[in-house]
Structure formats: C-alpha cells, structure tokens
Amino acid sequence: MIAALYSFATTISGPAVRIVLALRRLRGKEDRERMGERLGRAGRPRPDGPLVWLHGASVGEALSALPLIERLLANHQTLNVLLTTGTVTSARLMAERLPPRAIHQYVPVDIPGAVDRFLDHWRPDLALWLESELWPNLVARTARRGVPMVLVNGRLSARSFARWQRAPRFAGALLGAFQRCLAQSEADAKRLAALGAKNVASPGNLKFASAPLPADPQVLSEIKRMLGARPTWIAASTHPGEEAIVAEAHTRLRKRHDTLLTIIAPRHPARGAALAVELTGSGLRVAQRSGGDAPDAASDIYLADTLGELGLFYRLAPIAFVGGSLVPHGGQNLLEPGQLDCAILHGPAVSNFAPIATAMANAGAATTVNDAASLADAVDALLSDKAKRQAQARAAADVAAGEAGVLDRIMEALAPSLAALAGGKDFGKSTAIKGVSRARA
C-alpha cells in the first residue's frame, strides 16, 4: 500500500520537483550544465558491452567506491562502469579521479518518468547500491527490468532501523529486491536481515580499502615552508554550527599557544565566503584559500574552502578534529586522517561511522569532545605532549590499516553476480592491484 501511494505521489509531483530543482540550482546545489541528468536525460552515450552501475549518495560513498571500481575494471577489460551520485561536489571530484572506462552521471530524481528515461538509456547489466540511499522508484523499476542488484557496504543505524520498523512491509519489499546485501558491520547486517534483506553477509567496511587522500607535493612543501614550526591543527569536514565552536576553541587555545594556526575545512566548500565573513566578525584574522590567500604570521584561521584538497590539509596538521559530530549529522570519515598520521578528535554524534569510532576509541586512537572548552583542552593536551600525540596517531594508523583485505572479501561476495554478468566467466576473481593487500589469514 505504501509503495503504491509513493509511486502515485511521485508520478503527479513532476512539476513540483522541477520547481525544487530550479530553486536548488539557484543556490548552487544543482549543476546548471547537467540539469537534464537529474530528469533522466543522459549526458553521455552508453558504452558498448557490459555495464556495471554503482550508486552512492555523495562524496563519501563515491570515494569509497573508487577502489571497487578500479578492481572491477582491472578484472575485465571490456567492462564499463557508471557511477551516479546526487551532489555537485561529488561530481566535480569524480571528474578528477574516475579511471578510464568509468562514467559519472547525476542520479535521476525519484519520479517514474525520470527513472524510466535513465534506465532506458543506460540499460545496466548489474547494479551495486552503496551504503544506505535507497530510492523506492529507482529500486523497484530497476528490479522490474530484471537487473540484478546488490547492496554493497550497507549501513543502517539504530535510529533508521527504528523508523523502518514502522513500515515493515515496505522495508521488506525494498530490501528484498536485492539479490544479496553486504553490510559494513555485523550490527548493520542484523538490522538489514531483520527488515527482510536476503543473503546478508558482513565482509567489512569498504571505506577501509580507500587509498590515502592525495595531495600535490609541491603545494604541500610550499605551505609547510610558510608555516615553519608554527603549531597547527585542523577542523575538517565541518558543518553549520561547528565553525563557531572551533573559533571559540581557537580563541581559548591562543592564550596557551600564541602562534597557533587553526585550519577549518568545511564539508561544503561553497560555504567559504559566508564563513569568512562569520569568522572575521568574531574578531579572527582569516586567510581564505579559495581567494588565493596564504597563511601568514597574523592569520588565526586558514579557511580551506577548496575541493579535493583535504589530503593536503591533513598532511599539514598533526591533530584533526573530524566534523559532523558536534551537530546531529552522524560524523564524517575518521579513517582519512588516520591514514595520514593525525591524532583524531571528534564529537559524540558519530552514528554514521559507529563501528570505526568504537574501534578508534578502543585503540586509544581518538578522543571524544563535547564543546568548545573540551575541544580546546584536547587540542592543548596533544600540542603540549608530542609523545602522546604520536602514540595516538600511530594507533589511528593501525586501525585504518586493520581491514586491508576488505576489498578482496567484497569481490569474493560479488563473484556470483559478476559470474552471471559474464555469462559464466568469473569476473570476481581478484587480481593484484597496486596498493591493495590480500586479506590476512
């Protein structure tokens, strides 16, 4: 009943959806040049041969998909990959990082006409859905065409599980459309199975397979030379409300570390101009990277409001607060600073990365903070004690490296679907890829 109502409501909502897309475009949340893709009108021709379609919500899912995409393409030379996401930021990042034979498109809005146009054009042979963004029309209409689907790196928080339990038949029909569900953790696997997912397994979190975020060596060297021995820390992937907390923490810290530089890298770089005004209004001196500013001795804040440079800033700062965690968002990826020699801090709201946060806490690799005062105290303790800072960073690196074989296990779990795609030939057999380790015994 709910599925039928949803389908009907979205069928008649086309005009309203177009208005919403237009408003989002005006706010910079949609790509003006590629709006047709959001309505299912392809921006590229479909390549010949078998096509595997991967869908993820945004930057995090797209980045975690890269090693899987590379492995799929390395295992079969005639295969092509289509990656869909829904955000401008992810599209720009994938334009730089997708390998040959991989295409990015925006996911169509979940109205039947747009979905059908998308599927008519791309005709995927296999669909891999990443994590938790399941659009009902897109799932149902893909399944109706007989396209095999697998949920990869499936995630379902306790809060989302409770919401889905209010509509168990709808949840069961949605998850039951997948041939198999590969969960990030045992807890996610249990919740997915309880809602009706089939063939559930937990090969591990695909985010552990991601390579360290890249950085331009020349730019890194130049900024390091500018900073010299100046104490530096970063507040990364921050969300609205967190920058004010970080600014207050910086003000407290300057009383103890008078040459301190705080780097703020907002999750959405488009907020940079507004943040520069906000931070300057708080009495702080801001160097804004998107404006070409370089941090000098007078700068309090280096506003890292550029795309694709987080790896650069993690390499500049030995202490990283990971945002989305002092506001009710659910946190951002803790493994990224862990791979780059950072001692890690985060707030209490880390439900999106709960197993990783638990592993970090158990290893002594991360410290939880709750407000500006505790954030300042934690940064001060790490700045003042090099041995403690280095020990915490080593522990974080060990956690980040602890599931190096996860990609092999996911490929093994995908082998039946890939073999069917190949007409019996084994697509799932692992091949040696530079930088990817075999699963440990």
pLDDT in tens, 155-191: 998 889 999 999 999 999 999 999 999 999 999 999 9
Please compute the mean of the pLDDT values over residues 17-41 and round it to a whole number. Answer: 95
pLDDT in tens, 105-126: 999 999 999 999 999 999 999 9
65 pLDDT exceeds 70? yes
pLDDT of 431 over the 80 cut: no
Computed over every residue of the chain, the mean pLDDT equals: 93
The residues facing 182 across adjacent strands are 201
Sorting pLDDT into bands at 50, 70 and 90, what band is 420?
Answer: confident
**Residue 252: partners with Cβ closer than 8 Å, 6 or more residues away:** 372, 373, 376
Whether 399 shows a pLDDT value over 80: the answer reads yes
Q: CB neighbours (10 Å) of residue 340? A: 24
Spatial distance between the Cα atoms of 144 and 148, rounded to a whole number of angstroms: 10
Q: How confident is the model at residue 162, as a pLDDT?
A: 95
Element (H, E) at 356: helix 354-362
| pLDDT, average across residues 397-403 | 93
- What contacts 24+ positions apart, CB below 8 Å, involve 3-9? 3/136, 3/140, 3/170, 3/173, 6/136, 6/137, 7/112, 7/136, 7/137, 7/140
Residue 61 known to be catalytic: yes
* Average pLDDT estimate for 192-202: 96
The pLDDT, as a whole number, for residue 11 is 87
Query: What digits encode the pLDDT tens for the residues 75-110?
Result: 988 999 999 999 999 999 999 999 999 999 999 999
**β-bridge partners, 183:** 154
What spatial distance separates the first Cα and last Cα of the chain, rounded to whole Å? Answer: 48
Query: What phi, psi does 343 have (nearest 5°)?
Result: -80, 135
Q: Give kind and range of the element (H or E) at residue 14.
A: helix 14-26
Q: What is the pLDDT of residue 1?
A: 66
> Which pLDDT does position 441 carry in this prediction?
24
Residue 314: is its pLDDT beyond 80? yes
DSSP 128: E
- pLDDT band at residue 423, thresholds of 50, 70 and 90? low
Amino acid identity for residue 382 in this structure:
L
Residue 422 has pLDDT above 80, yes or no: no
Residue among 30, 37, 61, 242 flagged as catalytic: 61
Residue of 77 and 370 predicted with greater confidence: 370
Where is average pLDDT lowest: 4-8, 14-18, 153-157, 352-356? Answer: 4-8
Sequence-distant (≥ 6) Cβ neighbours of residue 409 within 8 angstroms = 203, 204, 439
Dihedral sign (CA 85, 89, 90, 92): positive
Q: What is the pLDDT of residues 275-291, one digit of tens each?
A: 999 999 999 999 999 99
Averaged pLDDT for residues 383-395: 98
Which residue segments constitute the domains of the chain, with CATH numbers given? 6-14+22-205+404-421 (3.40.50.11720), 217-401 (3.40.50.2000)
Q: Which pLDDT does position 403 carry in this prediction?
A: 85
* Segment among 3-7, 232-236, 304-308 with least mean pLDDT: 3-7
pLDDT of amino acid 434: 30
Listed as own residue / partner, the contacts of 179-183 with beta carbons closer than 8 Å and 24 or more positions apart are 179/148, 179/149, 179/150, 179/417, 180/150, 180/151, 180/413, 180/416, 180/417, 181/150, 181/151, 181/154, 182/150, 182/151, 182/152, 182/153, 182/154, 182/410, 182/413, 182/414, 183/153, 183/154, 183/155, 183/156
SS3 of residue 40 by DSSP: coil
pLDDT in tens, 242-284: 999 999 999 999 999 999 999 999 999 999 999 999 999 999 9
- The pLDDT assigned to 374 comes to 98
Q: Could you tell me which residue, 14 or 356, shows the higher pLDDT?
A: 356
Beta bridge partners of 344: 320, 366
Full-model pTM: 0.89
Average pLDDT over residues 394-420: 93
pLDDT of residue 6: 86
